Structure formats: structure tokens, C-alpha cells
């Protein structure tokens, strides 16, 4: 398979990261992904206290001896505790891979590098990738507007962001937003990335703790079935197009304030829907790549399929040369 600085630095088998997912990136799923040779992080935001996060880390360790990390969002509204406390808990746990996202990692860089961690920072604009690189972040991750979760306000696709960022930074780059199979993994490597970040694709696997009805809904939804909500708040989020998100868009169109929108966009409002599969109760983040998702494989089946397809693609391209 493909060896890159990403696989070497993190000690993982494949140049693939499963995107961190709120409510879903919990021990059993994280361990299943790690055991399949793919990089993955626990979402610290799921755990309101340091004790709970440490317990999740220990549970994951009991299920895998492969590398895994912890994702800390630097976006204050998403975090149950201040980022510096979360980061300190991760350092105390001995986990050596930390992914940050959502804001500049500058205030935390010294602490993270002082702890000898591999620091991945995820961003959504080229200027933020260049800044993270300049701050000495070990691996920079960038997501295009296709992605599930939070793209930038600027609406730029991965096809543009990835080669542009790769040309401008020294650190290895992870390409995210719209990647879900072996062909696009090879395309990302061709564009200068050293790994892909696949969130939506791994969400629709048997081990992902996502309701079966929601997985089935995604399988039948085409690439046009997502919308960007919360643009009016300056913090866009790509999610499944449902009655719930249509209502949010309608409210935004009518100039709703943050206070008015909060009951509809807060993670807590969505939790019930995530547990029951009723996608009309809450926001279900999902990327445009859902149009290419046709089944619900195990994590191991998915990874082997991606790898086999990437190898076939490379052979086909070699044949064209």
C-alpha cells in the first residue's frame, strides 16, 4: 500500500483517517477503525468531564493496541470544558496523537509540542493551513465545502483547496471533504496530500454507533441531499436535507438570531434523533459524498475495499503511462 509521511509519523497502516464525529467517535468504534489500520480520534466533546474522557481512552486501549488519538475542538460553543483543560487531560492520559479543529491552535502549540505529541490541525481555508504549518503543526488537515460538518464560509471545493494547500505547506497534508473510496484516495495523493480524511463514509459502517434507520436513509440519499445551514451565523455546517434543516434555513432566511436558532442547532437537540434514527429531530451532519454510499459494510470490509480499489486505480494509471 502507499507509505507516506502520514503513515510513518502516526504508525498506521494506511494513509486514511476516519474523520472525528460528534456523538459517534466513541471507544468501540474508534477501536474498530484503529484495528482496521486506519487513523481515528475519540471526540473529546462527547465527554463533559476529564474523568469520563480518561475512561473512554482506557476503554479504547482495552480494545486495540493500534494507534489512535483524541480530537479537541477549539470552537468554544462545541466544548463542555475549555480546550486547555481537555488538552491537559489528553496529555495526562499518555495518548500521543492530538487533533485540534475549529480555531487557531496558536495558544496551545507550546503545550502540545512540549508534550511530544503528534499534532494534527484541521482547517477549511488555505490561509489557515499555511498559518498552522508556520506554527509547526506536525500534520495539517484541510476540508473542502463538500464535507460533512464544518466547511469554511468561502464555498471552495477540495479539488481546489488540496493541491493549493499542498503546494504551500511543508507539513504533510490530509485531504478531506468528498473522499469515500479508493479512486478518490489515489486522487488525493496525486493532488499532493499524504492521506485522506473520510467522515461520512465511515459513518455508514456496521460498527458506527449511528441508528440503522439513519444509515439506511443515507444509503438512499443522493449527492444533492445535503444543505449548508448556519451560514447566517458565520459558522456553516453541512447536514442532511430534512424537514428540520429546511426549518432552520427558513428561520435563517427570516433573520433569526442565534438565541432563536440555538434550540434547533445545539448538539443536545439532535441527540434524540441520533439515537432513534428520526432524522427530523435534530441536525445530522453529512457530506455530499453520501451520493456514493450504497451499503453498510463492516469497517474492515470498507477499508479493504478502499485499499483494493486504490491499488487497482494505481495499476490502471500505470498502464496509461
Ligand X SMILES: Cc1cc2nc3c(=O)[nH]c(=O)nc-3n(C[C@H](O)[C@H](O)[C@H](O)COP(=O)(O)O)c2cc1C
Task: Enumerate binding residues for ligand X (CB under 6 A).
Answer: 19-22, 43, 45, 71, 73, 101, 122, 143, 146-149, 176-179, 197-201, 203, 285-287, 289
Residue 176 CB, shortest distance to ligand X, in Å, is 4
Residue number of the CB closest to ligand X reads: 199
As a whole number of angstroms, the distance between CA 28 and CA 207 comes to 8
Closer CB to ligand X, 172 or 287, in the complex: 287
Q: Which residues contact 225 (CB under 8 A, 6 or more apart)?
A: 240, 241, 286, 290, 291
**Nearest C-alpha neighbor of 177 from the set 189, 167, 188:** 188
Residue 45 CB, shortest distance to ligand X, in Å, is 6
Residue 66 CB, shortest distance to ligand X, in Å, is 19
As a whole number of angstroms, the distance between CA 130 and CA 141 comes to 11
Residue 53 CB, shortest distance to ligand X, in Å, is 14
**All 3 cell numbers of residue 120?**
494534527
Residue 277 CB, shortest distance to ligand X, in Å, is 13
Closer CB to ligand X, 24 or 169, in the complex: 24
Closer CB to ligand X, 105 or 287, in the complex: 287
Closer CB to ligand X, 75 or 256, in the complex: 75
Closer CB to ligand X, 172 or 176, in the complex: 176
Residue 202 CB, shortest distance to ligand X, in Å, is 8
Q: How many CB atoms lie within 10 A of CB 210?
A: 21
Q: Which runs of consecutive H residues, i.e. helices, occur in the chain?
A: 5-10, 27-35, 50-63, 83-93, 109-114, 126-134, 158-168, 182-190, 200-203, 212-220, 243-253, 258-265, 267-276, 299-320
> For the chain, first and last CA: distance in Å?
20
**All 3 cell numbers of residue 1?**
500500500
Q: Give the single-character DSSP code of 97.
A: E
Closer CB to ligand X, 224 or 257, in the complex: 224
Which three-class secondary structure state does DSSP give residue 232?
Answer: helix
Residue 321 CB, shortest distance to ligand X, in Å, is 29
Closer CB to ligand X, 257 or 276, in the complex: 276
- Residue with grid cell 494507534, as numbered in its chain: 67
**All 3 cell numbers of residue 152?**
469554511
**All 3 cell numbers of residue 95?**
495518548
Residue 63 CB, shortest distance to ligand X, in Å, is 21
As a whole number of angstroms, the distance between CA 218 and CA 39 comes to 23
Closer CB to ligand X, 103 or 256, in the complex: 103
Amino acid at each position: 500500500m502507499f507509505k507516506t509521511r502520514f503513515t510513518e509519523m502516526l504508525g498506521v497502516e494506511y494513509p486514511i483517517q476516519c474523520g472525528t464525529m460528534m456523538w459517534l467517535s466513541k471507544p468501540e468504534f474508534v477501536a474498530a477503525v484503529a484495528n482496521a489500520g486506519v487513523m481515528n480520534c475519540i471526540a473529546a466533546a462527547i465527554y463533559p468531564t476529564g474523568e469520563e474522557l480518561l475512561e473512554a481512552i482506557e476503554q479504547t486501549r482495552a480494545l486495540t493496541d493500534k494507534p489512535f488519538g483524541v480530537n479537541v475542538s477549539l470552537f468554544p460553543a462545541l466544548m463542555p470544558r475549555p480546550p486547555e483543560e481537555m488538552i491537559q487531560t489528553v496529555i495526562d492520559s499518555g495518548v500521543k496523537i492530538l487533533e485540534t479543529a475549529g480555531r487557531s491552535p496558536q495558544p496551545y502549540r507550546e503545550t502540545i509540542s512540549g508534550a511530544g505529541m503528534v499534532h494534527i490541525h484541521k482547517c477549511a481555508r488555505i490561509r489557515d493551513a499555511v498559518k498552522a504549518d508556520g506554527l509547526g503543526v506536525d500534520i495539517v488537515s484541510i476540508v473542502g465545502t463538500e464535507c460533512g460538518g464544518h466547511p469554511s464560509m468561502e464555498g471552495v471545493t477540495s479539488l481546489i483547496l488540496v493541491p493549493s494547500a499542498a503546494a504551500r505547506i511543508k507539513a504533510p497534508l490530509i485531504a478531506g471533504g468528498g473522499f469515500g473510496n479508493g479512486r478518490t484516495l489515489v486522487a488525493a495523493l496525486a493532488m499532493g496530500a499524504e492521506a485522506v480524511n473520510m467522515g461520512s463514509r465511515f459513518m455508514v459502517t456496521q460498527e458506527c454507533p449511528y441508528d440503522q434507520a439513519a444509515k439506511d436513509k443515507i444509503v438512499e440519499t443522493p449527492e444533492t441531499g445535503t444543505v449548508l445551514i448556519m451560514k447566517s451565523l458565520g459558522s456553516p455546517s453541512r447536514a442532511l436535507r430534512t424537514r428540520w434543516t429546511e426549518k432552520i434555513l427558513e428561520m435563517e432566511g427570516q433573520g433569526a438570531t442565534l438565541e432563536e436558532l440555538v434550540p434547533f442547532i445545539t448538539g443536545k437537540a439532535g441527540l434524540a434523533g441520533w439515537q432513534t434514527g428520526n432524522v427530523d429531530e435534530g441536525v445530522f451532519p453529512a457530506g455530499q459524498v453520501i451520493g456514493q454510499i450504497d451499503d453498510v459494510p463492516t469497517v474492515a470490509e470498507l477499508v479493504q475495499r478502499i485499499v483494493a480499489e486504490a491499488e487497482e486505480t494505481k495499476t490502471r494509471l500505470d498502464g496509461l503511462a
